[in-house]
Structure 1
């Protein structure tokens, strides 16, 4: 009898299947803790802070080394429910967690993804807002804001204009979290429309605002990322599924083209955290009836998985000095797409650049030394689950004793507003010249 019970136990799943209903804070915590306890080798559960009302902001990490970064393994994140009444993403991320852990070792694609990626999942950035909503509602409710009645997606520093709002505990927690990891790719999950929106959300003439758009130097990559998600969600791809809403060709849009937004999280990620983030609007109805949740999971599962895989686009590696020591805080950027806050190596000397196939010239720059240029070609068919790896020996003229681990960070305030306003500034040459000029000032 005992032997039979043992075998039965081995056959049963480690965690009871998650139902397709809404999970409030206690239920969500119980599920996350059960996953962490039953899949200890590939998961790590931690809180990055607390909400206004003291609720934990839980993050579950999935990967072969869930508790710490490993060199060469990129960091990816999903964040949902920053507007408390936009609920579909919250439940999708719980089901994504279940899907990942239960398919590890069974599904080759999921197993390879967990082998090669450290995946951070925050189901709810605004648990107070979610708990404030009394019943499902397709439109605006008080649960949109946090416990202090602040819209968290208007609460971050803005690169284009002054954003003198009081930083909220949830916002501060995310900003501090971004300092602890080398996040490469991210998406934040919303509701109320059906579209994949990419930066910038705000803009100035130098980024194209006079042409009703605001483009980053990496616009080709962002369009690819948005298309990757939307193309696998058939309803999103149609671009016109929400009544009385805009039509979005192929289900994607530039954020500013849709509507300008000051203090958004995706722009903050890209500018100050070196992390490419897009915003996924997943349902026409903000808080749909729970019987529709299974349909949303079926519509988004393939997109959620495929989007994670995009963290392996492009190029990665380490920068070393003449003695083979890794160099932190070295600027590594493509010559013609410099960022207004320069992208630098982390404390392990690592860099990650999301790039589409093609030929590029890398500009590697250390303080007090001449730039080092090196050419690289990213093949059309890259290795599965790995960016092209290229370590860079930095040829030094003179002695380099050390580069400070904490070099001055980019100012937390308007940056692009200092660029000259000019209607032609969206032409690649002038735009990149202006960004390069500002880049030199803040090296």
Structure 2
């Protein structure tokens, strides 16, 4: 395909749809210095938003270019269909129109057509250093690639990218098979066996969305329903899929979209037709299911960068530092118990049902205030503008206010006895009783 023609066309779309598409964002360079260009699609490109972010990455292996071409087609399709007249498309392309509008306005989409431009130009699997980029990430089971300086520049670019942006979900496009692959990709003992992650149900649901939207992936004779657990297919280590889930809070699939790794260019329109609805539906699934919301402080109403967990699933999703927004992908089922936590605040939990679409759930957390903090706060809330007074109160508190209070009570009682001594003779038992009563009051 003519890449220059495509980029020119996209630039024209950008001029026509101002504020809709920001294109050619570089997240780094390849070994040979080729920029890793990301197409960003949103109604508010370049801004931090409270909507979920999704990314597609193609051409991880240089000799698997189909994903590269399909992602450029996807960007073009969204540009072509976003602002079409709804009356014209109401009868003919209702589903198409709604999907384009849904994605642009409700998902922050990022497309990296080629993670390995050097390998593509050399028509080989690895990058210019002959390193398989899908084996170059830190691994959970074995000490691989723990030295960040030793990783490939393409790998470091992806890792830094995910430090900047909180992606809810993503997928990489590969070739050589026809199946939707989900974590874990490896196992502790390196054996080929099913090894599911904590969100196994959610990943199976994600993979099924792609498979069943595809022209023929779900009818695979090799893979039941066209999906597979990575370790059950063949274990691999240092993969990007598992790293995303563990370290970046991102649910990632590995999509094998073509049996032929490098098909003839004449087959690309057919491959696009077969994968188009899968690509669109997987992105749209972020807003069609799961639980979404924000975490606030009850004190001032400001957003909190808290955490979201789901009872029974050993996995934590972190809310945004600035907006306090979270997006938790979950498979539809009867109910989930969702818990919001934040250091210095009391946790809250509630039960949701996901059998009928997504749920919006905001949490307002109350701070954990100790008795000591409460007393000090009351002192400062009074109309005490004297700095020396505040320092004196702090001094008293630091020296245990309770001791001073007891001493004051005892001195007062002794003074009372001194005044009454000439008139009334008070028994010792009466004195003890009076002292005890005063302390209680």
Scaled by the length of structure 1, the TM-score of the pair is: 0.75
1:51 and 2:30 matched: yes
SS in 2 for 1:302: helix
Alpha-carbon deviation of 1:185?
1.1
In the alignment, is the contact (CA less than 8 A) between 2:344 and 2:368 conserved in 1?
no
Q: Which has the higher helix share?
A: 2
Deviations 1:334-387 (A, max 9, x none): 021122xx42222121211111233122222223555x24122134222xxxx4
**Structure 1 41/63 Cα, relative in aligned 2: closer, same or farther at 3 Å?**
same
Q: Which runs of 5+ in 2 are unaligned?
A: 85-96, 374-441
Aligned residues: 352
1:149 and 2:133 matched: no
1:257 equivalent in structure 2: 232
SS in 2 for 1:183: coil
Q: Which runs of 5+ in 1 are unaligned?
A: 1-20, 134-142, 241-246, 401-443
1:361 and 2:363 matched: no
2:365 equivalent in structure 1: 394
In the alignment, is the contact (CA less than 8 A) between 2:338 and 2:352 conserved in 1?
no
Alpha-carbon deviation of 1:41?
1.9
**For 1:23-422, what aligned pairs fall within 5 Å after superposition?**
23=2, 30=8, 33=11, 35-45=13-23, 46-71=25-50, 73-106=51-84, 107-133=97-123, 143-164=124-145, 166-204=150-188, 212-240=193-221, 247-312=222-287, 313-339=289-315, 342-347=316-321, 348-357=323-332, 358-367=334-343, 372-382=347-357, 387-398=358-369
- Structure 1 CA distance for aligned equivalents of residues 302 and 34 of structure 2: 40
In the alignment, is the contact (CA less than 8 A) between 2:126 and 2:133 conserved in 1?
yes
When structure 1 is superposed on structure 2, of 222-231 and 343-352 the one drifting more is: 343-352
Alpha-carbon deviation of 1:395?
2.4
In the alignment, is the contact (CA less than 8 A) between 2:298 and 2:367 conserved in 1?
yes
Alpha-carbon deviation of 1:272?
0.7
In the alignment, is the contact (CA less than 8 A) between 1:356 and 1:378 conserved in 2?
no
- Structure 2 CA distance for aligned equivalents of residues 28 and 174 of structure 1: 24
Scaled by the length of structure 2, the TM-score of the pair is: 0.75
Q: Which structure has the higher relative contact order (CA within 8 Å, separation 6+)?
A: 1
**Structure 1 249/392 Cα, relative in aligned 2: closer, same or farther at 3 Å?**
same
